[in-house]
Amino acid sequence: MNTADTILVIGACGQIGSELTMALRKIYSNVIAADLKEPGNEVRDSGLFIRLDVLNKPSLYETVKKYNITQIYHLAAILSATGEKNPELAWRVNMKGLRQVLDACIELGVKKLFWPSTIAVFGPTTPRQNTPQWTVMEPNTIYGISKQAGERWCDYYFQKRNLDVRSVRYPGLISYKTPGGGGTTDYAIDIYFEAKKNNHYTCFLAEHTRLPMMYMPDAIRGTIELMEAPAEKVKVRSSYNISAISFTPEEQAASIKKVLTDFSIDYAPDFRQKIAESWPESIDDSVARADWGWKPEYDLDGMTKDMLENVTAP
């Protein structure tokens, strides 16, 4: 058990936070979970939970000082689909939240920061196949714009203020413990719950829409590996491309049918289709692989099998 660090997870009750908090608590003895929302049983019963609004600067600073925080995982964000419905809120939470956390790190001596970026930093003018680490980035969602600006802020704080900030561009993340957070890729989660419950799913993206995705255990392991890598190996301080599986709703449905033979799907694309079409189909993650050894484990059928074993029909 690592006792040298005290970690603060901001957004600990979200889709990533709820699993990352538990994974960190297996390694570190002092992991404080913070969120605006009520914690689930696992997070609440396994350690300290505090109510925190990242936009409330005095309360953020107070928390960091009171618990002598040495590392922060700042996960609180408004995702793509929710962000399009409330751009002002998305900008405030994603941008002001990050800037306050960056300043708290510098002013209060927090040594290391993890902050997630996303494939949404890319846009319609980006090459869509095997999108490189460095390429054209003209995001056209408020979520993507805020995350791209955030990447520049992170790099800036590394260059100018010496902050050890680390980040990955997550693809769509699939998990069963906590619901998706209002993203365009949430269909790939919902499909498993509906398959289990009704043997049918109506997909809000069209059948041939290919997007980069990842199973949560890979994302959690990769995040912790990046945070534990020696600093000199972490050469990209904006955010690393990481990739695992790319598939279409039709391919995912075929994977489900191998387990649930009666499963059926139909398609009713909505406003999220346009967002999906502005994003890459697949990601080149060779820089992350070379720098700190990133490597995914789950493929589509492996993930489907695990999801269907674990999702519970409500």
Cβ nearer to ligand SER, comparing 47 with 172: 172
Contacts of 191 (CB under 8 A, 6+ apart): 201, 203, 249, 252, 253, 256, 265
Residue nearest to ligand SER as judged by C-beta position: 183
- Catalytic residue status for 267: no
CB of 206 to ligand SER, least distance (A): 16
Tokens of 194: 């509906």
Nearer to ligand SER, 247 or 263 (CB): 247
Work out how close the CB of 213 gets to ligand SER at its nearest, in angstroms, rounded to a whole number: 9
Q: How far is the CB of 111 from ligand SER (least distance, A)?
A: 27
Catalytic, out of 28, 73, 143, 267: 143
Helices (H), the chain: 17-27, 41-45, 57-66, 80-85, 87-91, 97-108, 142-161, 187-198, 216-228, 249-257, 272-277, 286-292, 300-310
How far apart, in whole angstroms, are the C-alpha atoms of residue 11 and residue 310? 23
Residue with smaller CB distance to ligand SER, 47 or 171 = 171
Nearer of residues 150 and 172 to ligand SER, judged by Cβ: 172
How many Å apart are CA 115 and CA 98, to the nearest integer? 8
Residues in contact with ligand SER by CB under 6 A are: 79-80, 118-120, 143, 170, 172, 183-185
Nearest distance in Å: CB 295, ligand SER: 21
Q: How far is residue 176 from each of residues 18, 83, 150, 270, measured CA to CA in Å? A: 11, 23, 28, 24
Catalytic residues: 143
